[in-house]
Amino acid sequence: MAPEIDTEKLLRAARDWFLKIPGSVTAFSGGVDSALVLYLARQNLGKERAIGCISDSPSLKRRDLQEAKDFCRRYDIQLDIIHTQEIDDEAYYSNPFNRCYACKSHLYHDLSALLQKYPGFVATNGTNCDDLGDYRPGLQAASQAAVRSPLADCGMDKAAVRALAKSLQLPNWNKPASPCLSSRIPYGQSVTREKLNRIELAESVLARYGFEEARVRHYQNEARIEVPSESIAPLKAHMPKIVETFAAIGFPQTTLDQEGLVSGKLNRALPNDTK
């Protein structure tokens, strides 16, 4: 049985962390990690010193962008929307193993420019302790840009993040992980606006059937659906209609991955020395 998480202790640690800085600009994705950072900044620093920043890029789901806006309205947080251009960078669209490094480099470069509006503020992100043990090239970009990670600094892993977010009644405390749409495309296959749009449309179809936690992997002309193992049997009943709808979207072939949803599954293709 997992030990009980002391959320009051986590709150004190976060308060102490934020009170040591003059202000923050948080790279906000709409997910629970960065939402918690932004909320804690707002509570400890006040509205004028706790700024959110989200990149409205082709790899961000429209739904996630809207949820980010709604979150900031709910908690009276200033949200700056920027438009990063990683999709036009060969280091990104050619989809190498370190694509995430190129993406985050663009994000943090533009965020650094935004920081000029807020002298003395520091850039923050939603990295937690669990992320530090995963393959995440974006962490290198964060380090190079001097972006700080209050959750990791306060010793919070994903379980602690969700526990604290739940105790604070954040609306997305239990939101499934929603990595960028580019993560659905196997390494070495180009990332294009058309593919990202097709993936988003396909996943919205699954959501309409009640499968909110799902990935549609884009294998050339094939859509390969991943859902949690317990959702595989219920999804099979809808497959004939889903296959028909996906074909209209632009996937001539649609398959259901019998292994189920595995976060970061495409990372299995990484060379061992990269892992």
pLDDT digits (tens, 9 = 90+) for 10-42: 999 999 999 999 999 999 999 999 999 999 999
Strand intervals (E) in 125-196: none
Q: Which residue has the tokens 């992980």?
A: 177
pLDDT beyond 70 at 87 = yes
Return d(Cα 145, Cα 123) in angstroms, integer.
Answer: 9
Catalytic residue flag (residue 103): no
> Distances in Å between the alpha carbon of 175 and those of 33, 112, 178, 252?
10, 28, 8, 31
How confident is the model over 95-104, as pLDDT tens digits?
999 999 999 9
Catalytic residue among 53, 100, 154, 180: 180
Residue holding tokens 């058309």?
Answer: 194
Residues 82 and 25: their CA atoms lie apart, in Å, by: 13
* CATH 3.30.70-classified regions of the chain: 181-269
Residue 145 CA to residue 112 CA, distance in Å, equals 8
**162 touches 134 (CB < 8 A):** no
Whole-number Å distance between alpha carbons of 256 and 250: 17
pLDDT at position 196, please? 98
pTM of the model: 0.93
Residues 88-94: contacts with CB under 8 Å, at least 24 apart: 92/182, 92/191, 93/190, 93/191, 93/192, 94/188, 94/190, 94/191
For position 1, what pLDDT does the model report?
58
Beta pairing partners, 215: 226
What is the spatial distance between Cα 71 and Cα 160, in angstroms, rounded to a whole number? Answer: 20
Pairwise CA distance, residues 113 & 157, whole Å? 30
CATH architecture of 181-269: 2-Layer Sandwich (3.30)
Position 144 scores a pLDDT of: 95
3-state secondary structure of 120: coil
The closest of 238, 274, 217, 240 to 96, measured between CA atoms, is 274
Instruction: Take residue 238 and report the two structure tokens written for it.
Output: 């809808």
The whole-chain average pLDDT of the chain stands at 94
Q: Which CATH architecture best describes the domain 8-167?
A: 3-Layer(aba) Sandwich (3.40)
SS3 state of residue 167 = helix
Residue 62 amino acid letter? R
pLDDT level of residue 256 (50, 70, 90 thresholds): very high
For the stretch 177-230, pLDDT in tens is 889 999 999 999 999 999 999 999 999 999 999 999 999 999 999 999 999 999
Domain with CATH 3.40.50.620 in the chain: 8-167
CB-based contact 186:69 (threshold 8 Å): no
Please, how many CA atoms are within 13 Å of residue 271, restricted to the half-sphere of its CB? 6
Smallest CA-to-CA distance from 178 within 21, 18, 19, 31 is with 31
